[in-house]
Amino acid sequence: MPHSLPGHETAASRTSDLLAQALGLLAGSRLAVLTGAGLSTDSGIPDYRGPTSVPRSPMTYQQFVSDPVLRRRYWARNHVGWRHMHRAAPNAGHFAIAAMERRGLLTGLITQNVDRLHSAAGSRQVIDLHGRFDEVICLDCRRIISRFALAERLEALNPGFETGPADAADVAPDADADVGATDSFVVADCQACGGMLKPHFVYFGESVPKDRVEAAYALVDRAGALLVAGTSLTVMSGLRFVRHAAKHGTPVVIINRGTTRGDELATVKIDTGVSGSLTFLAGALPAPAS
């Protein structure tokens, strides 16, 4: 087995050392966990900003509500992307976090993802910061309906429309799929009031509901450390919790492949794959101190 020259440690040994540091830092504390799209890449859902992601500009709330052409294009793409998203299964990282919760290691989980994979893996104390992709809301009467029910209506309104992307890499974390022509796609309105339907998650240009943010801050405040996994923290909705923890002297461990906006605030930053690291920590962390 080759040995590293002094001062020239391998990437694997560096990662191993950092994981050991993280383990020592987190051991004995109850943790708050913050996750992002990088955790779901092992489930076949590409992220927006990872090293291998294809650059794309997510639709803004203002575009969705003001432009009927863009809104039709979005629903056509979502109709296709939904097929892939709702079939995605949790990966080892999701199961590791659920196992930590069962062992009493967590105060709870904040996820920026809308894919519901944490819940599917068994996590119960979950704050879906940006909402859920399996629900749709009417912007007029505020009625919430199942995305499964809407899928049936869209299929009836658009028989023969493409039913799946050619490649899973063409589907974004919000179920936006890269498809062809959408001019003929028929959009469904609210059956209760005829109002505009929108996926029940936060678009760019929207604010996360205040009560959701407050609950997330409280979860971080109850924790002895914050574990961040699979997010570049590019948007403030997630970065604010890292800043909050650092401001109050709470240790922050960030695991993400690539740099993040929170790296300077991290007590330990590990640039590596997320699922394997979470699996290691879930198995190695002792029960928290009473």
Catalytic residues: 130
Residues composing the chain:
290
Annotated binding residue 40: yes
Residues 6+ apart with CB under 8 A from 31: 100, 105, 106, 107, 223, 224, 225, 226, 227
d(Cα 13, Cα 280) in Å, to the nearest integer? 15
Q: 163 and 179 in contact (C-beta within 8 Å)?
A: no
Is 114 annotated to bind a ligand? Reply is yes
Residue whose C-alpha is closest to residue 131's, from 202, 62, 37: 202
Residue 37 assigned ligand-binding role: yes
- As a whole number of angstroms, the distance between CA 11 and CA 96 comes to 24
Question: Is 108 marked as a binding-site residue?
Answer: no
The answer to whether 237 is a known ligand-binding residue is no
205 appears as a binding residue in the annotation: no
Beta strands in 192-264 (DSSP E): 197-201, 225-229, 252-255
Does 50 appear as a known binding residue? yes
234 in a known ligand binding site: no
The beta strands (E) that lie in 161-202 are given as: 197-201
Q: Is 4 annotated as a binding residue?
A: no
The reply to whether 141 sits in an annotated binding site is yes
Binding residues for Zn(2+): 138, 141, 190, 193
Numbered residues of the known binding site:
36-56, 112-115, 138, 141, 190, 193, 230-232, 256-258, 274
Q: Which residues are annotated as a binding site for NAD(+)?
A: 36-56, 112-115, 230-232, 256-258, 274
